[in-house]
């Protein structure tokens, strides 16, 4: 009877240890995932701030003027546009 109880205790103990080890590994994996996600979140927040600053700058009249000149080739009244052959 004592031997059976001892065997049962050992069996439960080893199963419990295996269960605890499995849970420990799962917990470690979850902590790693949390760290990865926190790093990704920080990078995305930084990128979001950069994009918000870019959007804010695009409402600046000087920026709009610069883009019109650069991309559409527009010039201000009174200015002379010089075009070299083969470039436009």
Tell me what the pLDDT averaged over the chain comes to: 84
Phi/psi at 4 (5° precision) = -65, -45
pLDDT digits (tens, 9 = 90+) for 38-77: 999 999 999 999 999 999 988 888 888 888 888 888 888 8
* pTM score above 0.75: no
Q: Which residues of 46-57 are buried (b: 16+ CB within 10 A; e: fewer)?
A: eeeeeeeeeeee
Residues whose CB is less than 8 angstroms from the CB of residue 88 and which lie 6 or more positions away in sequence, other chains included:
73
Q: Rounded to an integer, what is the distance from CA 74 to the centroid of its chain?
A: 38
């Amino acid at each position: 009877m004592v031997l059976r109880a001892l065997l049962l205790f050992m069996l439960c103990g080893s199963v419990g240890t295996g269960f605890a080890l499995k849970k420990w590994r799962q917990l470690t994996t979850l902590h790693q995932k949390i760290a990865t996600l926190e790093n990704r979140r920080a990078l995305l927040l930084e990128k979001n701030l950069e994009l918000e600053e870019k959007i804010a700058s695009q409402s600046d009249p000087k920026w709009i003027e610069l883009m019109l000149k650069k991309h559409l080739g527009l010039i201000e009244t009174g200015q002379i546009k010089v075009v070299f052959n083969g470039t436009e």
